[in-house]
Amino acid sequence: MGSRALLGAADVTDDQLAAIVAGLLHEDSVDVLDVEVERVAYDMPAITTASRHWVSGTATTSRGTEPWRIFVKHIQSWSRHPFFQYVPAEFQAMAAASVPWRTEAEVYRSDLADRLPAGLTMPRPLHVVDLDELSAAIWIEDVSAAEMDWDLDRYRRAAYLLGRLAASPDVAPLAALRDVDWSLSSYTFGRVAVDVTPMLQGDEVWQHPLCAAFDDDLRDRRRRTADRAPALAAEGDALPRLTSHGDACPNNLLDGPGGDIMMIDFGFWGPAPVGFDLQTLLVGDVQIGKRSADTLAEVDEAIIPAYVEGLRDEGCDIAEAVVRRAHAIRSLLMTGLSAVPVDLFDGPITDDTLRIAGDRAVIARYCLDRLDASSG
């Protein structure tokens, strides 16, 4: 049948694989003829993902010999990720408990696909299994899609559907699938207080050439705002909480069948302040260098009204001003304060890294300005 050794702990038995392929091909049973396993290339670190693989081959079905391909994701507690060793020992228990990892498996075990608003979809799960107390494997249908052009119309459509998702009474019961009790305050007293604020208040990080775009005014504004982070988090947590995808960046919103938007990567799914998904939609491609930071204001003014329209179509009357304030607080706490290119420090300084670092500075300034504008 072929070796599946690359899958490691996420592998299944031959009989289980045949059943999974039969489910994929809508057959009662199949004979798997051959198997190939290929590691998925993925440039961005994900602390709760142990591995990603394509598993493909051919099988004999009632219709003849057919090809098949399946995506396998091995998820884990981030205490098993190599980065975890850099967390100070006194904070490790809190750090491990603060990052949800089981949630994605629970989402795929649920009936969320049947509850989504029209226009949204998700991959079909084929096999979801706990591997041990700190890891699980998820086998889903192939959802690889061509690169999409994210023009303003697509941003508006995505925001509208995220608004409908947030306020959907059908989806609401599944918001509780997240496996940790997360809030802006827990994030602020965790990552912001332990990691981000000390970095901002120090001098060492600013000496790196990639931080040249962060001028004295921007540094001082971020330092002052970091001191207000606990109060801002408390304000944000007091705003209405709705259902959130949790990481609704363009990379996680694929082109689905029939023009639908297909959501993937549900690790941070759960309840969150209204408008929570707008920030990753806004800055996701800017942070990784796929879109210029010069487009932030234009995209933001397209997605906020579209999101509110989605809320309205699900019967939710939260005021747009409240959405803007919640969006501004989340943006500042979870993106604006941490938008320092430390992830690029160990690599060479190139035109691309300088451009990305400059865009990070624009993101930080934009988040500060939006917070100020929403306070009136």
Domain that holds residue 41: 1-86+123-142
Are 261 and 253 a contacting pair, CB within 8 Å?
A: yes
CA distance 293 to 304: 17
Does 166 lie in the same domain as 133? no
Please state whether 167 falls in left (phi above 0), alpha (psi between -120 and 50) or beta: alpha
- Domain count across the chain: 2
Which percentage of the chain shows pLDDT scores above 90?
80
- Tell me whether residue 79 is in a domain: yes
Q: Is the pLDDT of residue 138 over 80?
A: yes
Are 97 and 180 a contacting pair, CB within 8 Å?
A: yes
What is the full DSSP assignment across 145-184? -PPP---HHHHHHHHHHHHHHHH-TTTGGGGGG-SS---H
Q: Is the pLDDT of residue 2 over 70?
A: no
Are 291 and 355 a contacting pair, CB within 8 Å?
A: no
- Tell me whether residue 169 is in a domain: yes
- Tell me whether residue 229 is in a domain: yes
Sign of the CA dihedral 20, 22, 28, 32? negative
What is the full DSSP assignment across 57-93? EEEEETTEEEEEEEEEEEEE-GGGSGGGGGS-GGGHH
- Tell me whether residue 99 is in a domain: no
- Tell me whether residue 113 is in a domain: no
Report the pLDDT value the prediction gives residue 180, as an integer from 0 to 100.
86
Find the mean pLDDT for residues 54-79: 95
Find the mean pLDDT for residues 273-297: 94
Report the pLDDT value the prediction gives residue 311, as an integer from 0 to 100.
98
Report the pLDDT value the prediction gives residue 1, as an integer from 0 to 100.
58
Does 356 lie in the same domain as 262? yes
> Is the whole model's pTM more than 0.75, yes or no?
yes
Does 208 lie in the same domain as 68? no
